[in-house]
Amino acid sequence: MHPAKSVIYFTTASGAGYGLMVWLAVMGAFGFIPADRTFGIVGFGLAFFLIISGLLSSTGHLGRPERAWRALSQWRSSWLSREGVAAILTFGPTGIYALSWVVQGQNGGPVGMIGLAGGGMSLITVYFTSMIYASLKAIPAWSNRWTSLGYLSMALMSGALIMLALQAGFGLGHMAVMIKASVALLALAGVLKLAYWRALQSDPARSTAESATGLGQFGNVHMIESPHGEDNYLLKEMGYKIARKHANKLRRIALVTGFILPMAMVAAIMVLGLPYVVVLSFLALISAGVGLVVERWLFFAEAKHVVTLYYGNRNV
């Protein structure tokens, strides 16, 4: 599949924003961090910036962005529509929680409950985003259970790394909780990603050139003449091939920069002590950011669509 920059930014940025929202809610509601005003402005400002810029970026690949509002109407059948509705509804509790934190200086008690509700809805929104891809049977690399697990774990993981870096920068709140959560989530997301790549390699093909044409009864099918001399929309959008050439190298880059290095850096904080928390947590965040962009690029670029069976692919 063609890896559109707008969709890579949308899924990584809004995922991290929603993940940060979850951790702001959890840390505040359970009393691990005081409702500091400046921290609130920076934390919620960053979360909302990531979420909103991500959502706006996702409208960037639309042919008719001015009609984007219409996408909210088909929530009964369409995961894309559900995702849009959930994203808008989530602004309710997260907005109230952010205002209570910043304006009233409260983040625990009943306000904390509203924050946790917002955190829960943030996760639901991320799940709906993942289902846009996981519901497409024609793309076996996406329509499996690993897709949603990956999106959820990576949103929580990137959100946790931002939260840790913010806490380190401000010197606020229980650092040990975020350090442990970050290490655990980096390990979990990394293992899920490895399992996803393993499943891609081992899952049997769902469709073949023979089933696509129905000509298997006559032997092995291969195309001898394409309908057109130049690439058409289908081949430009669905026939992306560059990633497969470098797939193994890119997977290693994503795994090391996205998960292993950040995990080592955050774990090093536990050993070296808090004087290093600022440097190490920011380095971990930058490394994970690079890794997640590579991972997301691969998620799109590596995925094969069954329509390519009509254009010379043997099985998908």
Partner 1 sequence: MTSLPQNPSKVKLGLVIDLDICVGCHACAVNCKEWNTSGKMAPLTDMDPYGAKPDGVWFNRVHTYEAVDEAAGTSRTVHFPRSCLHCDDAPCVTVCPTGASYKREEDGIVLINTDICIGCKLCSWACPYGAREYDEDEGVMKKCTLCVDKIYNENLPPESRVPACVSTCPTGARSFGDLGDPNSDVSKLVAARDGYALMPEQGTRPVNRYLPPRPKKVGDEMAPRLLDHHDDSADGAGLLARWVDKVLSA
Binding site for partner 1 (CB under 8 A): 1, 61-65, 67-68, 70-74, 76-81, 84, 132, 135-139, 206-207, 209, 211-228, 230-234, 236-238, 305-307, 310-311
CB nearer to partner 1: give 193 or 305.
Answer: 305
> Which DSSP category does 256 fall into?
I
Those residues with Cβ within 8 angstroms of residue 61's Cβ, 6 or more apart along the chain or in another chain? 4, 6, 7
| Of residues 77 and 201, the one with the C-beta less far from partner 1 | 77
Burial of 279 (0-12, 13-18, 19+ CB in 10 A): middle
d(CA 145, CA 227): 36
Rounded least distance, CB 6 to partner 1, Å: 11
Minimum distance from CB of 303 to partner 1 (Å)? 10
Residue keyed to tokens 């109407």: 73
Q: How far is the CB of 129 from partner 1 (least distance, A)?
A: 13
The radius of gyration computed from the CA coordinates of the chain, to the nearest angstrom, equals 22
Residue (90 or 153) nearer to partner 1, CB: 90
CB atoms within 10 A of CB 68: 14
Residue number with CB closer to partner 1 (36 or 237): 237
Torsion over CA: 42, 43, 46, 49 (sign): negative
Tell me whether residue 8 or residue 22 sits nearer to partner 1 (CB atom).
Answer: 8
Q: How far is 311 from 19, CA to CA, in rounded Å? A: 40
Query: Closest separation between CB of residue 21 and partner 1, Å?
Result: 23
Q: From the CB of 60, what's the least distance to partner 1, in Å? A: 11
